[in-house]
Amino acid sequence: MAQEVEKIIEKVRFSLFSPEMVRELSAARIVVPDTYDDDGYPIDGGLVDSRLGVVDPGLRCKTCGGRVKECPGHFGHIDLVRPVAHVELSKQMYLVMRATCPHCHRATVNEEGKPAKGTCPHCSGPLNDIKYLKPTTFFRDGNMMLPTEVRDWLAPITNDELKKVGWNPDYARPEWGIISVLLVSPVNVRPSITLESGERSEDDLTHKLVDIIRINQKLEANINAGAPQLIIEDLWELLQYHVTTYLNNETANIPPARHRSGRPLKTLAQRLKGKEGRFRYNLLGKRVNFSARTVISPDPMIRIDEVGVPTKIAEELTIPIPVTEWNVEECKKYVIATAYPKALYIIRPDSRKIKISDELRKDLTEELKIGYTIERQIIDGDICLFNRQPSLHRISMMAHEVRVLPGKTFRLNPTTTTPYNADFDGDEMNLHVLQTQEAQAEARLMMKVEDQIISPRHGHAIIKPQEDHVSATYFFTKPETVFSKEEAAKLLYIAGITELPKPDEGKEYSGRALFSLLIPADLSMKTTSKLGEEIVISKGQIKKGALESRALGSEILERMFVRYGSKATRDFIDSVTKMSLEALSWYGFSVSMKSYTLSPAAVKKVKDIEDKVNREVENLILQYKNGKLERSPGLSLKETLEANIMMATSKARNDAGKVVEQDFGIANTSIIMAKIGARGSLLNAIQMGALVGQQAVRSKRLTRGYYKRTLPFYKKGDLTARERGFVMNSFRTGLLPDEFFHAAMGGRESLVNTAIRTARSGYMQRRLIHALQDLVVEEGGEVRNGRNAIIQFVYGGDGKDPMLAGSTQFAESAKQDDVDTV
Amino acid sequence: MHEKKTEKKPSSQVSPYSAVGIVAAQSLGEPGTQMTMRTFHYAGVAEHVPTGLPRLIELVDSKKEPKKSVVEVYLKKSLASKESEAQDVAFDMESVLLSEVALVQEDLAGKKIVITLKEGEAKLLGVKMDMVKEAVKKTVGAHKVEARGNRMHVTLGVGIAPKAKTKKQKEKEAAEGPAAPTPLKELRKLTMKVGKSLVKGVAGIKRSVVLKGDGEYFIRASGFNIKDIVKIEKVDGSRIYTNSVIEIEKTFGIEAARNALIREISSVMELQNLNVDKRHIMLLADAMTADGKVKSIGRHGLSGEKAGVMGRAAFEETIKHLVNAAITAEDDNLVGVTENIIVGQTIPIGTGRIKLGMKVRK
C-alpha cells in the first residue's frame, strides 16, 4: 500500500477573536431575524443565508459554490448597535481593570512590585474602586459601568502593560471581551431538522440568534427615534441577557433561556461541556464501522482465544486484503465466489471502491491484479477485538480469532468470562474487525487472550480452569480414580491426544496418569493443597495429592506461562477444561435436597445451639436491665450489650458450621466444592443446612421500621435475638414470615450499596485514569509524565513489570523444584 | 508433548513506553466495584472509620483531614511493657476543655465572666484549680483575672491595650469620631473562647484506649497532633502512627507522606482481600507527591495541572480552561493521550511511540 506522507499537528494555540478579525472572517452580515421564506428558500441576510453554507440538498453555497457535503460552512456576523460584555471573559476584564489605572492605563504596581492603593504610582491620579457583580456587571466607585466605558478603559492599555497582568496581547486583548460584532456560526453547526409532517424545527442556537437580532433591531429603532435613555438602557440590558445566554445558558444568577416547551436551550457552552458535550462525546469517543454486537453464550469446546461468530455477522463484516503476487489467485477465488466466503468490494489502486454485484462479478475478477485490494468476508482464523463494557481494565478488550458458527450469539470459552466480568444471563458484547495490517499484527502480538492469562494487576493467573473444571480435576487426580481403556481413549481424544499410553493400573488407567499427559514432561513442583495434603509433581507426573484450585490455577498455570510460554499454557487450559468436563459428566456431580438435610442428631445439635444463643441473649439483656452488665472500654452500656449479642450470634453460626461440616461430611458436594475452591463457601452450606444467622444493617442488628421494633406485632423495645433479626431457620427448612422480612432488610442494604458503589468507583477511576494516563516508562527505565518530569527514576523501584514479576519466582526457582522432588 | 521453549526467556523488566500509568489507574480502579462499603470500628476510639471504597476515595482526594483520624502512640522501649505507664500517658493525652470541668457564665451587668469549677468532673479528669487558672489566663490575655476558691472572675476591659487599628478604621474615626465600644459583644466572644480553652492534655486528641500488641502496650486515640504528642516524655517519638496523610506530611515531610500513602492504600486493599501489586500503588503515591507536596487526584490537583489545555478541558471545567488558555495564548503541545485523540493522531504511548519508516522501491 502506497501511503502518502501524513500531516502531523505539532501544537494547538488558543486565542480570542478581535472585532476586526470577526468582520474579516464573516461571509455575510446577518440582519433579518428569520430563516426561510414562504417557498422554503433561505432568506438573504437571514440566519440561514446561503452564504453561510448549505444544509439542504440541491442548493449551492454562495460563498464557495460547494454542495452539501463539499461546503464546510462559513461564518457570518451581527453588528450589535450597542456592545455587550462576554460572560466568560467578564471576570478576567474585571481583574485587568482592578490592576490598571483609568487615567494613564498602566499597571498599578509600585516599585516594590505590590499593587498600589489610592493613587496611581505613575500618574498620581486617583484610582477607582472597581466592583464586579456576576455575571456581567461592573461598578466604578459604586456607579454602574456601561460596556462602552469598560472598553474605553481597556482599549488604550499598551501591550507591555498587558503582559504585566498575564495576557498575551498578540493573541488576546481584554477589550475584545466587549462584543460589538457577534460571530454567527455556519449553518452546518446548527442545522434545522425537518419533521415528518414537513414542519421545520430550528436548532437552539438559531433560536437564540433570532432573539439577539430582534432585540438589536428594536434597540436601533429606539435609538434612532430618540427614545429616553431609560428605555435604551433597558433594551441594552436585554441584549446583554440574550448574548449571555447565547454563550452560556447555565450562567449563575441568570434565568436560563427556555424553549417554547419550557426546556432550557442548549447553547454554546452546553455543547462543549460534560459527558454529552463535544469533548467527551464526540472527540474522545467515536462510533466505528466494522463492528458487531450480540448476546453472548458459552462454548467450552472452542479454544480460549477463539470467538464464535454467527454466520449472519460473518457475512456482513469484511477485512481488506491487499492483492499481491502471492495471493492473486486466492483473491480471484473470493471475487468470483457467490456464497459465504466471498469478497464484497474491490478497491482499485486509485482508492475507488466498487461493490461486487452479480453483473460486475466476472469483469471485476478479470480486472483484479496486483495493487488492488479486496474486502473479504471474515473467515475462521481472522483476528478481531472482543470487548465487554464497562471496560474497567485493559483485559476488558482482547484479541480473539474468528470461528464462524451457526446460531445467533457470540460464543466464548467460559474461562474467559473472568477478565470480561461476563456471564450469560443476557450479556451482550462487541466485536471489532481490524482493518489495517499494523493493527492486526499488533493485536496478534500483544492482545491475544493467551497473552493475558496473567493479570497485570497482581501478576497471577486470571484466565484459569474454574468451578466445574476444578471439581473435575480434583476427582480426576485422586489416587483411586481409574478408567477403562475405552474411557481413557475417549478422554484423551477430547483433550487432543491421539496416542494411547500403556496402562498403569493392571488393565486400567489411573486418572493421574491421564492427567499427567497434559503436564509438560519436565515440570516438577511441590506444594500444599487447600486441604492440607501435599501435592508432588515430578517430571510431569503427579505423584502425590489431588489438584485443587490453587495448585491447578496458580501453581501449575503460572509456572507453565513463565517457562513454556503463552501458547503452551493456552493449550493446557483448553485440554484440561475439555477433558475434565467430559469426565465430570460421567461421574455425575450434582446436589439434591438430601445434600442439605442434616441427620436427626445434627438437627438436635443445631437446635441446642439455637436454644443456647437465645438463653445467652436473654441473659445479657437481663444483666443489662439489672445494671449488672460490665461496660466495655470506650463503649456505652447499650453498645456493650449489642456487641456482646453480636458476638453470641456469630459464635452460634460458627458452632452450627462445625456441626454442618461434620454431619455433611467430606463426601458432600457442597463441602467439597467449598474446600477445593471450586465454588461457594462453607457459609452457603451452613445457611442452607442449619441456620441463616443474624441479619444486619450497617453492621448492627436490625432496629428500623416501627417504633422500637422492626415489625408491628413485636413488643416495643424487645431486644431478643428473633425480634432483632436472628434467623433461626435454614434456607432448606424455609424462613418464617418475620425472618423472611428481616432477611429482606439485610438484602436491601446490600443492593443499595452496590448501586452507590458502582457510581462512586466509576468516577474515582475516571479521575485516576485522567491523572495517570500520561505516565510512561522511557527508554532509560524512568517514569515521566506529560510535562516530561520524572515521577520515578526506576519504575516500581526495580523496573519489573507487575504482570511478569509475580510469577517470575517460578522461573527462578525452576532448578530448585527439580532438585527437591527427584 | 510439550517441548521446552528454546527461545530467550521473557525478561520480567518493563518494556520502554509501557503505559504504566494507565495500568496502575485501572488496577486500582477496577477492584473499586468489588469493595464493600462497611465501616471499621476502633473500639472506644473512633466509630465508623471508613474502609474500602470510601477510604480509598478519601486517600486519593488527599483531604485535609481524614473523616476519622486515629493516632497510635508507642512508649519508649523501657516503659512499653508496663500497662500502668501506658494508662498514665493515655490519661495525660486526652484533652479536656474548660467547659467540660467548669461552669462558664456571663455576668452581663458586671461585664464579667464567672467560672465555677465542677469538682466531681474535675477530679475524675484529673484537673486542678491552678490548671484551670493557667488555662484561663492564657486565653484571656490581658483581661483581669481574679480567683477565689473554686471561682474565678474575668473582668472585661481592665488593663487591655486597645487593638492596633487598621488604616481604614483610623480614617473612619477621623471622620466620625471614635467608634462606640460594644463590650457585650466582646464579652460573648470571650466567653465562647474561654469555654473552649484547653485545660489539660494534647489539643485535638479526644478519646484514647490502651491496647496490647506484640508484647507491649500502646495507645490508640482519636484525632492527631503528632507535634505535641512527641513532647510527652514517655512517648517514643520514632514510633508514632496516624492515618492522616496530611498530618504526616506536615510533621515528617513529603517522603514520609509518600510512604504513608502507600501504606494506607495497601491496607485498604488488604482489608478487602484484593490483591494489587505494590508497584501500582507506588506509582500513584509517587505521582501524587512528585512535586514536593501531596496533590489530590482530580480537578484541584493532578488533573487540573496537566500539561495540555485540551486534556484539562476534556476532564472537567471545560469553559474555564478554554478561556484561560485563550487570554494567555497558551499552546497545547499535544504531549498527552487525550489531546492526541482529540486531534485524531496516534497517542505518544506504547507502540504509538515507535516511528518506523520504509524506503519504497522505485
Q: Which residues of B touch A635 (CB under 8 A)?
A: 43-44
H helices within A248-375, ranges in order? 268-272, 311-316, 328-336, 361-367
B22 near A CB under 8 A: yes
| Cβ contact B309–A14 (<8 Å) | yes
The CATH number of whichever domain residue B158 belongs to comes to 3.30.1360
Q: What is the pLDDT of residue B170?
A: 55
- B161–chain A nearest CA distance, Å: 29
Q: Identify whether residues B128 and B186 lie together within a single domain.
A: yes
Burial of A368 (C-beta count, 10 Å sphere; 0-12/13-18/19+) = buried
Cell 481413549: give the residue. Answer: A489
Q: Identify whether residues B110 and B192 lie together within a single domain.
A: yes
**Mutate which of B30, B331, B347 to disrupt the A interface (most A C-beta within 10 Å)?**
B30
- Is the pLDDT score of A180 beyond 50? yes
Question: For residues B282 and B289, what is the distance between their CA atoms, to the nearest angstrom?
Answer: 10
- Is the pLDDT score of A7 beyond 90? no
φ/ψ of A804, rounded to 5, equals -100, -25
Among all residues of chain B, which has the CA nearest to that of A455?
B27
**Mutate which of A10, A167, A175, A764 to disrupt the B interface (most B C-beta within 10 Å)?**
A764
3-state secondary structure of A709: strand
Q: Name residues 351-370 of chain A within 8 A of B (Cβ).
A: none
What burial letters (b/e) apply to A550-571, b meaning 16+ CB within 10 Å?
bbbbbbbbbbbbbbbbbebbbb
Q: Name residues 683-702 of chain A within 8 A of B (Cβ).
A: 698-699
Q: Identify whether residues B29 and B152 lie together within a single domain.
A: no
Residue B214 falls within a domain, yes or no? yes
Q: What is the pLDDT of residue B6?
A: 44
Mean pLDDT of B119-143: 72
Closest to A358 (Cα-Cα) out of A373, A372, A339, A376:
A339
Question: For residues B189 and B192, what is the distance between their CA atoms, to the nearest angstrom?
Answer: 5
- A269–chain B nearest CA distance, Å: 7
Q: Could you give the dihedral angle defined by the CA atoms of residues B248, B250, B252 and B254, in that order, rounded to the nearest 10 degrees? A: 90
Q: Which residues of A touch B273 (CB under 8 A)?
A: none
Residue B294 falls within a domain, yes or no? no
A727 Cβ contact partners less than 8 Å away, ≥ 6 residues apart? A691, A692, A693, A694, A695, A735, A739, A742, A743
Q: What is the pLDDT of residue A810?
A: 57
Q: Which residues of B touch A171 (CB under 8 A)?
A: 326, 329
Instruction: Answer yes or no: are the C-beta atoms of B42 and A778 closer than 8 Å.
Output: no
pLDDT 10s digits, A52-111: 888 777 778 888 887 878 888 899 999 999 999 999 999 988 988 888 888 888 887 776
Q: What is the pLDDT of residue B156?
A: 65
| Cβ contact B338–A788 (<8 Å) | no
pLDDT 10s digits, A736-751: 999 999 999 999 998 9
- Is the pLDDT score of A362 beyond 50? yes
* Number of domains into which chain B is organized: 4
Q: Which residues of B touch A562 (CB under 8 A)?
A: 9-10
Closest to B336 (Cα-Cα) out of B314, B306, B300, B356:
B306
Q: What is the pLDDT of residue B42?
A: 64
* Last residue in a domain, options B169, B200, B231: B200
Cell representation of residue A628: 449488672
Structure letter (DSSP) for residue A338:
-
Residue B38 falls within a domain, yes or no? yes
Question: For residues A150 and A179, what is the distance between their CA atoms, to the nearest angstrom?
Answer: 11
pLDDT 10s digits, B216-269: 778 787 877 777 777 777 777 778 888 888 888 888 889 999 999 999 999 989
Q: What is the pLDDT of residue A563?
A: 85
- Is the pLDDT score of B159 beyond 50? no
Q: Can you tell me the ipTM of this complex?
A: 0.88
Q: What is the pLDDT of residue B174?
A: 56
- A471–chain B nearest CA distance, Å: 24
* Nearest-by-Cβ selection for B319 from A88, A171, A771: A88
Mean pLDDT of A306-314: 96
Q: What is the pLDDT of residue A806?
A: 63
Residue B7 falls within a domain, yes or no? no
Cell representation of residue A634: 470506650
- Is the pLDDT score of A820 beyond 60? no
- B30–chain A nearest CA distance, Å: 5
B131 near A CB under 8 A: no
Q: Which residues of B touch A446 (CB under 8 A)?
A: 351
Q: Identify whether residues B182 and B225 lie together within a single domain.
A: no
B6 near A CB under 8 A: no
Mean pLDDT of A141-170: 87
Question: For residues A666 and A643, what is the distance between their CA atoms, to the nearest angstrom?
Answer: 34
Q: Identify whether residues B270 and B325 lie together within a single domain.
A: no
Long-range CB contact pairs, A65-71, < 8 A, 24+:
A71/A188
Residue B360 falls within a domain, yes or no? no
Q: What is the pLDDT of residue A86?
A: 92
Measure Cα distances from A79 to A21, A25, A82 in Å: 13, 14, 9
Mean pLDDT of A444-471: 92
* Last residue in a domain, options B200, B224, B258: B200
Report the residue count for chain B.
362
Q: What is the pLDDT of residue A316?
A: 94
- Is the pLDDT score of A549 beyond 60? yes
Find the radius of gyration of the CA atoms of chain A.
38
Percent of chain A, pLDDT > 70? 96
**Mutate which of B279, B289, B295 to disrupt the A interface (most A C-beta within 10 Å)?**
B279
Q: Identify whether residues B43 and B126 lie together within a single domain.
A: no
Question: For residues B322 and A554, what is the distance between their CA atoms, to the nearest angstrom?
Answer: 50
Cell representation of residue B60: 486519593
The CATH number of whichever domain residue B83 belongs to comes to 3.30.70
The band of B81, judged by pLDDT with boundaries at 50, 70 and 90, is: confident
Instruction: Answer yes or no: are the C-beta atoms of B217 and B79 closer than 8 Å.
Output: no
Question: For residues A243 and A221, what is the distance between their CA atoms, to the nearest angstrom?
Answer: 19
Residue B167 falls within a domain, yes or no? yes
Q: Which domain holds residue B328?
A: 306-352
Question: For residues A775 and A792, what is the distance between their CA atoms, to the nearest angstrom?
Answer: 10
Q: Name residues 65-84 of chain B within 8 A of A (Cβ).
A: none
A746 near B CB under 8 A: no
Mean pLDDT of B152-165: 56
Closest to A811 (Cα-Cα) out of A523, A544, A552, A570:
A523
Mean pLDDT of A453-460: 91
| Cβ contact A394–B22 (<8 Å) | yes
Instruction: Answer yes or no: are the C-beta atoms of A527 and A490 closer than 8 Å.
Output: no
B255 near A CB under 8 A: no
| Cβ contact B319–A272 (<8 Å) | yes
Instruction: Answer yes or no: are the C-beta atoms of B44 and A635 closer than 8 Å.
Output: yes
- Is the pLDDT score of A432 beyond 90? yes
Instruction: Answer yes or no: are the C-beta atoms of A129 and A141 closer than 8 Å.
Output: yes
B160 near A CB under 8 A: no
Q: Which of A112-121, B299-308, B317-326 has the least mean pLDDT?
A: A112-121
* Nearest-by-Cβ selection for B315 from A459, A756, A770: A770
Give the number of C-alpha atoms closer than 13 A to the C-alpha of residue A55, restricted to the C-beta side.
Answer: 21
Mean pLDDT of B118-129: 72
* Helices A468-476 & A669-676 angle (0-180, nearest 10): 100
Among all residues of chain B, which has the CA nearest to that of A631?
B44
Q: What is the pLDDT of residue B176?
A: 54
Percent of chain B, pLDDT > 90? 16
φ/ψ of B343, rounded to 5, equals -85, -5
Q: Which residues of A touch B335 (CB under 8 A)?
A: 774, 786-788
* Nearest-by-Cβ selection for B20 from A88, A272, A776: A776
- Side chain identity at residue B125, one-letter code: L
* Nearest-by-Cβ selection for B12 from A269, A761, A808: A808
Expressed in percent and rounded to 5, the helix, strand and coil fractions of chain A are 40, 15, 40
**Mutate which of A88, A457, A790 to disrupt the B interface (most B C-beta within 10 Å)?**
A457
Q: Identify whether residues B152 and B274 lie together within a single domain.
A: no
pLDDT 10s digits, A203-262: 899 999 999 999 999 999 998 988 888 899 889 999 999 999 999 998 888 888 888 888
Mean pLDDT across chain A? 88
Mean pLDDT of A157-177: 88
Q: Identify whether residues B135 and B101 lie together within a single domain.
A: yes
Q: Identify whether residues B100 and B196 lie together within a single domain.
A: yes
Residue B357 falls within a domain, yes or no? no
Give the count of Cβ contacts less than 8 A between chain A and B: 316
pLDDT 10s digits, A613-623: 999 999 999 99
- Is the pLDDT score of A651 beyond 60? yes
Sequential DSSP letters for B166-209: PHHHHHHHHHH-SPPP-HHHHHHHHHHHHHT-EEES-TT---EE
Instruction: Answer yes or no: are the C-beta atoms of B18 and A801 closer than 8 Å.
Output: yes
- Is the pLDDT score of A818 beyond 50? no
φ/ψ of B241, rounded to 5, equals -140, 140
- Is the pLDDT score of B65 beyond 80? no
A1 near B CB under 8 A: no
Q: Name residues 632-671 of chain A within 8 A of B (Cβ).
A: 632-635
B352 near A CB under 8 A: no
Measure Cα distances from B91 to A232, B68, B223 in Å: 75, 20, 15
Q: Identify whether residues B234 and B103 lie together within a single domain.
A: no
B93 or A610, greater pLDDT: A610
Closest to B48 (Cα-Cα) out of B74, B67, B30:
B67
Q: Identify whether residues B25 and B151 lie together within a single domain.
A: no
The band of B102, judged by pLDDT with boundaries at 50, 70 and 90, is: confident
Burial of A112 (C-beta count, 10 Å sphere; 0-12/13-18/19+) = exposed
Q: Identify whether residues B62 and B152 lie together within a single domain.
A: no
Residue B301 falls within a domain, yes or no? no
Question: For residues B283 and A691, what is the distance between their CA atoms, to the nearest angstrom?
Answer: 46
Distance of CA B343 to the CA centre of its chain: 40
Q: Which residues of A touch B337 (CB under 8 A)?
A: 773-774
Q: What is the pLDDT of residue B160?
A: 45
Q: Name residues 610-639 of chain A within 8 A of B (Cβ).
A: 632-635
B97 near A CB under 8 A: no
> Around Cβ A11, how many Cβ atoms within 10 Å?
12
